[in-house]
Amino acid sequence: MTKTAIVLFSDPKAGSEEALGRLFNALFLTYDLKERGQEVALIFQGAGTRWAAELVKADHPAGPLFRAVQDRVTGVCGGCADVFGTAEEAKATGLPMGRDLQVPGVGGVISLGDYLVKGYSLVTF
């Protein structure tokens, strides 16, 4: 069985169709792999941590798809959320906050290296 970690770096503050397109494609791939019974993890990293608070809004166009794959979200990067000012909003979503790798000057972040060591392929959007 393949294992895939999908990492969303896209920034909703960009306000561009490209940013929204990256979000949708990350969700599409997560959904596709989930439906195939594959092991898949969705991670919000960097400026992508801003998506967490957006996706839980009832009227967000990606909301239904997000809810279909929400059980595959393994984390919102805590250190990234701190840096990008989204920690409180991300915590309020109830999604897990990852802080497993301590990085000087940033604090705890999600270790993408752990996913590689565990045999995951990384796909970034």
pLDDT tens string 46-86: 999 999 999 999 899 999 999 999 999 999 999 999 999 99
Structure tokens at 39: 């092991």
Reported pTM: 0.95
User: Hey, where are the domains in the chain?
Assistant: 3-124
3-124: CATH topology is Hypothetical Protein Ychn; Chain: A, (3.40.1260)
Structure tokens at 30: 């997560």
Which whole-number Å values give the CA distances from 76 to 2, 35, 112, 123, in the listed order?
22, 22, 12, 16
Question: What is the DSSP code (8-state) at residue 120?
Answer: P
Strands 97-98 and 101-103: unpaired
